[in-house]
A and B are shown apart, each in its own frame.
Chain A
Amino acid sequence: MIKTLGLEYFKIRRKKIWIMIMLFLGVEMLWAFISINRSIASNPDQAIWESVIHTIASMNGLFIPILSAIIVSRICDMEHKGSTWKMLVTTNVGRGQIYSAKYICANSLLLYSILAQTLLMVVFGLIKGFPGAPPFELLIQFIGGTLLTTLAVTALQQWISLAIKNQAFALCLGMLGGFIGMTIGLFPAAVRHIFIWSYYMDLSPVTFLYDEHSSSYITQTVGSGLVVAALIMTVIFYVAGRIHITLKEI
């Protein structure tokens, strides 16, 4: 397993995946920090850690599905392009093993992105002098929720990317997911929980509460029901994709 995983990292050299990740993260963080800066300027109460966690979590609903689609598509497309899948599966390495290696590889890249995000959030908060020390508990929950949602999204993306040669489908799905993730606040709760992309917001430890005269950030304990739902989706997408791809004729 270590060997096949190592191979996946070897194969993505010169694919410029890192540059793409940095560019994407850069845009997202810049956008988020500018928008937080603005809202702090109009309302100094917003200068708290919760605001940055909430803003990033909601923007992740847009950015990470697309980033995941791109990364997974890069990792899978190279097997289509040189028709190397048939070469891989005629060595004595199991097909399932290659599938897992790709999955772990993609998610590890996304985990780095999430950790980098968190680090930037802390730096931003410290520079802006948010009250109190960085809220590690919230940040850990943020990382956990984002990663869990990403695991499911990536499983779905990998299935599509390997099943359909034309990567336009996978990238469209990523964009559709990003669109749903961004607009999910407009959907009623019963509907939004069907879509995995809504979980970037829903698994965030901070939520934004409107009432008649004010609005405020409150920290929430994420319901275990949602965590279980995300886990189930991860397992379903992963297992279905893996079975489909390993049984597929070449």
Chain B
Amino acid sequence: MTTSAIVQTQKLSKTYSGLNPVNKVDLRVQEGEIYGFLGPNGAGKTTTLKMLLGLIKPSEGTVKIFGESLNKHRLSILQRTGSLIESPSYYGHLTGLENMKIMQRLRNVPDKNVDEALRIVRLENQKNKKADQYSLGMKQRLGIAMALLAFPKLLILDEPTNGLDPAGIGEIRELIKSLPARYGITVLLSSHLLSEVDQLATSVGIISEGSLLFQGSMTSLREKGSTTIYLKTGDNPKAEQLLLTQGYSPAQSESRLGFNNLGDANVAEMNKLLVENNIPVTRIEEQKKSLEDIFLELTGKERSL
């Protein structure tokens, strides 16, 4: 975590009438990564992202983007940042292309950016339709195209696949995946879908009820899902006693004995020990905690996702 952080917040908090939708959040988004900001509905994702863009003021804490304080360099930071927050923004009485032209003039970018952004989100054939007549998915694509228009260094997308059909979701995910390598864009995206973050992100921050519960690489999150070896024997209490004398303490001992993080050699040795002591071993099973289990464990939420 020593490389340059594109986004860095410190004790970022927001208070609304006594409640803390965002509570002391320390985000670190490194250059070139796709950071998945994951949390159930109402966890505080949108509120956090709005504070990063200066749409709302933090009640406490600081935001640094590109190493600069948001308070002091807001406009220069915004110039290098594209965003799509909550529902997509569009002028319904104008066509998709006219909407893009507005963004183009605000962003001061050449015509070819408009064409390219429209092509990337596959709206080039619908660009002369009024945005009011777009489906929700098309509006979402337009929103992404507008966010992407200047090919910013940092792209902040709040639930970017909301309202898209499965094919559209796949397409947009592929698009997002390609951004860091193709355009050097760092992506910060929020989602309430674990599977989405799992597929897309290189780093992840898990937020629940305003607090950041985990932050790190996707790999380190998966590692939390350690494997457990389950043993079933003819006489579990006796087996447990015997194994304890050899320094194996089971993490779980009901109908079967569970051991965390055992190497193959250990498993073989335990088996040998039991058999030599005339305790029949009826099952040896390996179980890996799924990402979902880890997530549910962290957030303490039942399947509200």
> Do the beta carbons of B102 and A82 come within 8 Å of each other?
no
A-B CB contacts (within 8 Å), total count:
68
| Residue A38 at the chain B interface, CB threshold 8 Å | no
Taken together as a complex, chains A and B put the C-alpha atoms of A17 and B249 apart, in Å, by: 79
Chain B 93-126 per-residue mask, 1 if CB under 8 angstroms from chain A, else 0 = 1100010011101110000000000000000000
> Do the beta carbons of A94 and B75 come within 8 Å of each other?
yes
Return A170 CB to nearest CB of chain B, in Å: 19
Q: Which residue of B lies closest to A82 (CB)?
A: B90
> Do the beta carbons of B101 and A90 come within 8 Å of each other?
no
> Do the beta carbons of B106 and A91 come within 8 Å of each other?
yes
Return B181 CB to nearest CB of chain A, in Å: 25
Contacting residues, chain A, for B75 (C-beta < 8 A): 92, 94
> Do the beta carbons of A11 and B102 come within 8 Å of each other?
yes
> Do the beta carbons of A82 and B92 come within 8 Å of each other?
yes
> Do the beta carbons of A93 and B106 come within 8 Å of each other?
yes
Q: Taking A3-B105, A10-B102, A250-B56 as contacts, is the C-beta distance between A78 and B91 under 8 angstroms?
A: yes
Q: Taking A14-B94, A82-B92 as contacts, is the C-beta distance between A92 and B55 under 8 angstroms?
A: no
Taken together as a complex, chains A and B put the C-alpha atoms of A15 and B92 apart, in Å, by: 11
Taken together as a complex, chains A and B put the C-alpha atoms of A197 and B291 apart, in Å, by: 66
Q: Taking A87-B146, A92-B76, A92-B78 as contacts, is the C-beta distance between A82 and B106 under 8 angstroms?
A: no
> Do the beta carbons of B105 and A6 come within 8 Å of each other?
yes
B-facing residues in A137-158 (Cβ within 8 Å): none
Contacting residues, chain B, for A3 (C-beta < 8 A): 105-106
Return A98 CB to nearest CB of chain B, in Å: 9
Using CB atoms and an 8 Å cutoff, list the residues of chain A in contact with chain B.
Answer: 3, 6-7, 10-11, 13-15, 78, 81-84, 86-94, 249-250
Given contacts A78-B93, A83-B87, A91-B78, 7 further A-B contacts (CB under 8 A): A81-B92, A82-B131, A88-B106, A89-B54, A90-B54, A91-B103, A249-B55
